[in-house]
Amino acid sequence: MKKIVAFLFLFQLSFGQVNPEEVEPVDNEFESDFYEALKQKAIENYDKAIISLDKCLQKQPNNPEIHYQLGVNYLNQKNYVEAENAFQKAVDLEPKQRWYWNGLYDVYYQSKNYTKSIPIVEKLVTFDANMKEDLVSLYMTTQQFDKAKTVIDDIESKGTLTKAMESYQMQIQSMQKGGKPKVTELEAAIKNYPNVEQNYIDLILYYSTTNQEAKAFETALLLEKVIPNSDLAHVSLVKFHINANDSSKATESYKRVVKSTKIDFKIKQRVLNEYLIFATKNPQLLTEIDNTLTYFDASSGMDVNKELGKFFYNKNNFELAQKYVEKSNSNDIEAIDLLLNIYDFNKQYEKMAKKSEAFIDLFPTKANLYYYAGKGYNNLKNYKKAKDFLEMGIEYVIDDPNLESGFCKQFIICADGLADAKMKQTYQKRLDIISKK
């Protein structure tokens, strides 16, 4: 199957790191159609985006990224049948790509088809162990309590349970002792002990796991009224206010959660994700996120700026992606690759070259850093310096024909700039050999 064209390189990275020259060029018409699709999707003209993507499929019918983009647009239209078909096609073509599976999960979750969601999440767990909590929620919703218990036990064996998982565990234990928890008992507990916060949380959780969202919302509002200083009430209220498109109240609840010292970090992270998705549809709220980032403790192991950068990168908002990744304190290779990819896409070659050169000191055997440095200096017409980095870096390319191909192409550009016919001939031959494999 053909690889996706060069201009799709940034899009591929939203699903996982790839090498810069993994792609092959095709005609300008294909490129134009794809960019038109991205543009139309960004301004929510999903019908027009789909038309452009259909044109792309005529040229590359087995390109999984195009099917995935079709799925995204159909899902935004709430056309669940077509969205499912598109995501399924992407999965069939590239089953190792987790984001394609995520697309299917989004379809089934939004359409409340929890039974179909389960095998998808079971697959997603193999990519990300954190998805086990989603799996537990689905098992509880579909009343597969034995399976839920098995997963909870597995989570507990590897670390501490979140409050949500503890609540599910208590529910299962209660069932094993004598049946399902009764709503009347939970309501009586609130009546008899109105100042005990946990009673409200248990009832909210019960209603939420039995798809009684309106009653869950009523209980959260009651908790807020009876115990005004309850931060936990706002964990549920954020979602309810977002669903009601009440930005003022959603923001108030979001702030209460992330500023709280009583709420588990994972819950804060989930609330941030919910609010972030809401804020992308209401850009004036993005400043609220910036103003609360200091409340996410770096000791938790999460670099919030990096995660925000990845989020906006996947949304093709490279301006905001660059803003957050540049603020990131992380020097891990994922953040570095992400930043260099953004510079490359935005043709900020001076930044790309300088940053690559600096990062080489941290990762002296990371071949693609030399590639970016070489490409950056080639575009700055500093061919001598480009040659130096390319010659150093290609020595570290091992069993990676795509990256090796990228180096060869940069060597050819460099040779043209230096008028070095011998170097051009050498790397053109090497490129031809790679292309035939």
Global pTM value = 0.51
Assess if residue 377 is contained within a domain: yes
Instruction: Indicate the DSSP class of residue 182.
Output: P
Assess if residue 62 is contained within a domain: yes
Assess if residue 197 is contained within a domain: no
Residue 310: CB partners within 8 Å, gap ≥ 6?
Answer: 321, 325, 338
Q: What is the pLDDT of residue 269?
A: 84
Q: What is the pLDDT of residue 27?
A: 52
Count up the domains in the chain and report the number: 2
Q: What is the pLDDT of residue 157?
A: 74
Taking CA 137 as the corner, what is the angle to CA 168 and CA 278, rounded to the nearest 5 degrees?
120
**Last-in-domain residue among 77, 96, 125:** 125
**Last-in-domain residue among 87, 110, 125:** 125
Assess if residue 364 is contained within a domain: yes
- Domain hosting residue 74, numbered range: 1-125
Q: Which CATH number does the domain housing residue 431 bear?
A: 1.25.40.10
Assess if residue 97 is contained within a domain: yes
**Last-in-domain residue among 94, 109, 125:** 125
Q: What is the pLDDT of residues 196-231, one digit of tens each?
A: 777 788 888 888 878 888 888 899 999 999 988 888
Alpha-carbon distance of 82 to 15, in angstroms, equals 21
Q: Among residues 217, 248, 247, which one has the least CA distance to residue 235?
A: 217
Assess if residue 315 is contained within a domain: no
Is 227 in a helix, a strand, or coil? coil
Assess if residue 227 is contained within a domain: no
For the chain, list residues with pLDDT below 50: 1-26, 178-179, 299
SS3 content of the chain, % helix, strand, coil (to 5): 75, 0, 25
Q: Tokens standing for 82?
A: 């077509």
Assess if residue 96 is contained within a domain: yes
